[in-house]
Amino acid sequence: MMKLLLIPLILLYFSAFSQGDYKSFVNDKDNEYYQSQSFYPVKDFNIEAICKGTKAKNVILFIGDGMGTSQVYAALTANGGSLYMTSLKFSGFSKTNSGSDYVTDSGAGGTAIACGKKTYNYAIGVDMDTVPMVSILELAEKKGLSTGMVATAAITHATPASFMAHNRDRNNYEEIALDFLKTDIDIFIGGGRDHFASRKDKRNLLDELAKKGYQVCDSLNTSISKDKVAVFTASGHNPEAKYRKNMLPIATQKAIDLLSKNKNGFFLMVEGSQIDWGGHDNDLPQVIEETLDMDKALAVALEFAEKNGETLIIVTADHECGGLSLKNGSLEKGIVVAEFSTLDHTSVMVPVFAIGPGAEKFTGVYENTSIFDKMKVALGL
Ligand code: MG
Ligand code: ZN
């Protein structure tokens, strides 16, 4: 008899919770609650077409700065249960500890992925002894591939800088800008114009880029007329996702259009830079909207990869940020109730999603440096 009474009571308890008012979990903090206004459809791409080639001619690497599994799942929930990144067929985990610290910064995290070696926090493309290392982008360039970078931060910021510059300290932005002139990168799009044009040494690197043959512009609306392009979409960093609209997906499309003209192939790095800033600010809406924004840029890459058949796409992060935990939510309503545990990065492993020729190599648990090794092998560099 007791048992018979208990079952309906238990059911009542659970249904009260599952249909409860999610707002009651908010703890009066709007920045830890999110409800979507709309979902975007996640289209089914033809996986066989994307993986058709026996070898990857092109690599498109997406780095969601500060994007751990909680950030991904929060975005997935906010989009009604689906994302492009989680639809990629192969997945693994990357261990992000740096050469100097249990918790990495974006300099050491970016450098590990870009150059294949762990280094100290704040390092940019240099090893533990500040000796410059060759990045995957530079290797690709040497082998005649086209190269590009797209970021929503300043292009001189730690993550893109790790692929291009060599500096003992990520804060040396004006020195890092100079390194852009030492390479032959074909296209870069991001903020950071001031590091090129309003400098302490009075040099105008925009003019110097133009002299080197670059089309230098400050808007994505300008049509591309040269083989080399530098687009500065902001004097500093770009505004957050809701204000910059579709800058990242549009920039990704522009970069792919230009780079894919090279028959030898290309390497492109796309950064969702500001997921991390949402984490530092413990701002759940920003974390989610920035992650969704990068997911839309990924859709652009998948569209290309489906037609191309020789493109390896990787989506990962340099580290987690905010110690985000998801306490409640609704996949049907796109509601996320979360709590951050820190204003800084954490050491938790981050996801790696991959699709295309060579993508199966990205399954398992490995060091962040191994992403460099796998990309190098995939491109035959
Ligand atoms: Mg970054
Ligand atoms: Zn950060």
Per-residue pLDDT of 250-303, as tens digits, reads 999 999 999 999 999 999 999 999 999 999 999 999 999 999 999 999 999 999
**Domain boundaries, given as residue ranges, for the chain:** 57-379
- Catalytic residue chosen out of the listed positions 106, 135, 146, 260: 106
Cα 50 to middle of ligand 2, angstroms: 33
**Tens-place pLDDT, residues 66-76:** 999 999 999 99
Asked if residue 13 has pLDDT above 50, the reply is no
Q: Which of 231, 265, 267, 255 is nearest to 114 (CA)?
A: 267
Pair 154, 196: CB distance under 8 Å: no
If residue 353 lies in a helix (H) or strand (E), which one and from where to where? Answer: strand 350-355
pLDDT band at 30 (very low <50, low <70, confident <90, very high): confident
For residue 381, the Cα-to-chain-centroid distance in whole angstroms is 23
**127 CB-side CA count, 13 A:** 7
Q: Is the pLDDT of residue 20 over 50?
A: no
106 classed as catalytic: yes
CA distances, 239 to each of 49, 137, 245, 318 (Å): 36, 26, 9, 21
Question: Among all ligands shown, which has an atom nearest to the Cα of 290?
Answer: 1
* Distance between Cα 269 and ligand 1 center (Å): 11
If you measure from the C-alpha of residue 13 to the centroid of ligand 2, how many angstroms do you get, rounded to a whole number? 40
**187-191 and 146-154 beta bridge pairing:** parallel
Model-level pTM?
A: 0.93
What is the structure's pLDDT at 3? 53
Average pLDDT on 340-362 reads: 97
pLDDT surpasses 80 at 11: no
Nearest ligand to residue 160 Cα:
1
Q: Which of 19, 50, 191, 179 is nearest to 114 (CA)?
A: 179
Stretch among 7-21, 151-165, 236-250, 362-376 having the lowest mean pLDDT: 7-21
Q: Where are the beta strands (DSSP E) in 142-272?
A: 146-154, 187-191, 214-217, 228-232, 266-272
For position 133, what pLDDT does the model report? 98
Ligand 2 centre from 277 Cα, in Å? Answer: 6
Q: How confident is the model at residue 248 (pLDDT cuts 50, 70, 90)?
A: very high
Indicate the pLDDT class of residue 18, thresholds 50, 70 and 90. Answer: very low
User: Distance from the CA of 12 to the center of ligand 2, in angstroms?
Assistant: 43
Q: What local confidence, expressed as pLDDT, does residue 2 receive?
A: 53
Distance 125 CA to ligand 1 centre (A): 14
57-379 belongs to CATH 3.40.720.10: yes
Per-residue model confidence as pLDDT tens digits over 306-315: 999 999 999 9
pLDDT digits (tens, 9 = 90+) for 102-138: 999 999 999 999 999 999 999 999 999 999 999 999 9
Counted residue by residue, the chain has a size of 381
Is 214 strand, coil or helix? strand
Question: Closest ligand to 96 CA?
Answer: 2
